[in-house]
Amino acid sequence: MTNLTKKINPVVLASILATTILSMSQAAAFDRGERGGQRGSGGFTRIDVDQDGLLSLEELTSPMMARSTRKFNRKDSDEDGFLTLEEFQQTRNDTSLNLADIADEIVQCVSDVKAESGDENIMVPTADQFMSVEDKFANMDADSDGFISLDELQAKVTDKIAMSFITMDLDADNFVSEEEFNAANLVRSATKQAIRQCIDEINADEII
């Protein structure tokens, strides 16, 4: 049996999507919006703390930092302030599914889905976005001491948010408008759906 035959874990999928260029800040915003029962603009108004109708990098960063700190503390089961690989890979429903093994297939499939559907919002990922847990861990462990500190995690999160912000800020005025935010959300959800569909299909093929 290979890892491919194991059921896709939504938590794993979500964490993989978090590595896509657009996803991190929007994912949080989107999720909050859904949980809060908001419609349309999703979490935009909630993140826009000063209510000026624009998101600054700081406004986008602070809820993500709070979120990553909570995530870190949840994973740090012995509460020593560091994550071991074992703690890091712990998810709610433990799984060893390794999407890095099927990364090329996923990329090809998403590219096909995009061509067939003509959906411009689908962003074809690159294979290196689907990292194994071990690679993700090593990538985050900046000083290579075998542990992830909160500082190391937050440094990565900060980088990712900054990248997302630049991608979202289409007119490069250093703010993300509600329009830019919503456009990015469309890309995110179309891409997420295509990736999920592809993983399901590849997974089903493998089982048969």
- Could you list the residues that contact Ca ion (CB under 5 A)? 48, 50, 52, 54, 141, 143, 145, 147, 169, 171, 173, 175
> What is the distance of C-alpha 68 from the center of its chain?
12
Cα torsion at 191, 193, 195, 196 (round to 10°)? 160
State the Cα–Cα distance between residues 182 and 55, nearest whole angstrom.
12
| Shortest Cβ 153–Ca ion spacing (Å) | 10
Minimal distance in Å, beta carbon 86 to Ca ion? 15
- Separation of alpha carbons 173 and 95, rounded Å: 42
Q: Which position's Cβ is nearest Ca ion?
A: 169
Distance in Å, CB of 58 to Ca ion, minimum: 9
Secondary structure letter of residue 82 according to DSSP: E
User: How many Cα neighbours within 13 Å face the side chain of 93?
Assistant: 10
> By C-beta, is 155 or 207 nearer to Ca ion?
155
Q: Judged by CB, which is closer to Ca ion: 40, or 118?
A: 40
Q: How far is the CB of 181 from Ca ion (least distance, A)?
A: 9
Residue 172 Cβ vs Ca ion, minimum distance, rounded to whole Å: 7
Location of structure tokens 């509600």: 178
| CA 135/CA 161 separation, integer angstroms | 20
Q: Which is nearer to Ca ion, 177 or 203 (CB)?
A: 177
CA atoms within a 13 Å half-sphere pointing along the CA-CB vector of 165: 19
Nearer to Ca ion, 50 or 104 (CB): 50
Minimum CB distance to Ca ion smaller for 50 or for 134: 50
